[in-house]
Structures are given as C-alpha cells and as structure tokens.
Amino acid sequence: MKLSIILYLGLVLAIFACKQDKTTPDSELQKPVIEKPVKVHDHAETYSKEVAEVAAKTAKALKAELTAKGFKIFDYVDEATQDTILMQQYFIAFLKTGPIRGQNEEETAELQNQHLAHLTKMYEMGYADISGPFGDDGDIRGITIYNVPTLKMADSLAKSDPMVKAGRLKIEVHPWWAAKGFSLR
C-alpha cells in the first residue's frame, strides 16, 4: 500500500514538475506542449503491489512457493555484485502472421477487440506478464510472455486467443529465463 502511495505521489509530482510555464514565449519553447493528460496503465497499481509482495518474501519462501507450483528456477550469482538472483522459466509466445488473413475490415476490428480482451484476461488472471505488438510489418506480429509453469499450459493459453483460433495469427512458444521480480527499464 505504501509503495502504491509513493508511486502515485511521484507521478503527481512529475506531472506538476513538467507543466509548462504559460508566461514563456512560444519562440523559446523547445518542444510543443502536450495538452492531453497522460493515462497511467490501469494495472500499474496491481503490478507495483505484486513487485512489493515478491520483494517482501524471503528467497527461500519464494523458491518453495514457485517449486510447489511446478515452476523451474535456479540461482544466478552476479560476478560484479556477488548478488544472488533468482531466475525463473517463463514462456514467450511469438504471434506470427497466420494463414487466414482474408477477414473484412469489420471482422478484423472485432477479432482485434477479442484479442485485446483475451490478453487483458490473461494478465488479470496472472498468466501473462507482458504483451505487445512489434513496430514493423514483419512476419512476427507481437509477443506475450506467459508466467506459467509448463510449455503445455502456455501453448494452450496462446492457442485460446481469438486471433489464433480464427487463423489470423499463429503462435510459436519458447521457454525463456528471466530474473524474478525485475522490471523493464
């Protein structure tokens, strides 16, 4: 709870610190002022609570919990800091261009809505940690990182995506190791 309050206050301070002084002449502005408020992702508070909970657990308790749930883990010792880092196996699903791409614009829009709803559900249920599209128009359209103990489970969850069921996307799932509790920078 305290971490959430600190994050919220930090966001408020950042917003106020970044406000443009209205007395500054336009000729002195380096960048245009963005008038729309920036929306923080709805899950940010939930995520910060989960990070705080992970940090609060002892390494031994966390290892026991993950092992009991069937996750593969190992310790990694950072040579520079001598810190022991808990590594966990996740599964990364590559969403690739599927064989059935002939949907009309309306069908495609509806599939996209269902796809996003599916990914939101996976996140809310704790099965997926991060998802997103790639910024190019290549064969690999995006990724989802599944936080589940087995390849079979990740494959099943990825195949339940409406875009995959419709054939607009196909999946390729691989085991992927990452440090437990670390966030993107």
- pLDDT tens, position by position, 62-121: 999 999 999 999 999 999 999 999 999 999 999 999 999 999 999 999 999 999 999 999
Q: If we measure between CA atoms, which residue out of 57, 64, 61, 19 comes closest to residue 38?
A: 19
User: Which are the contacts of 86, defined by CB distance < 8 A and separation ≥ 6?
Assistant: 59, 62, 63, 73, 74, 75, 76, 179, 180, 181
User: Which are the contacts of 151, defined by CB distance < 8 A and separation ≥ 6?
Assistant: 91, 173, 175
Q: What is the reported pTM?
A: 0.68
Q: Which residue has the tokens 């099965």?
A: 127
- Average pLDDT across the chain, whole number: 80
Q: What percent of the chain has pLDDT over 70?
A: 70
Q: Which range among 16-20, 26-30, 41-45 has the greatest average pLDDT? A: 41-45
Cβ–Cβ under 8 Å, residues 131 and 139: no
- Please calculate the CA angle 179-181-184 and round it to the nearest 5 degrees: 80
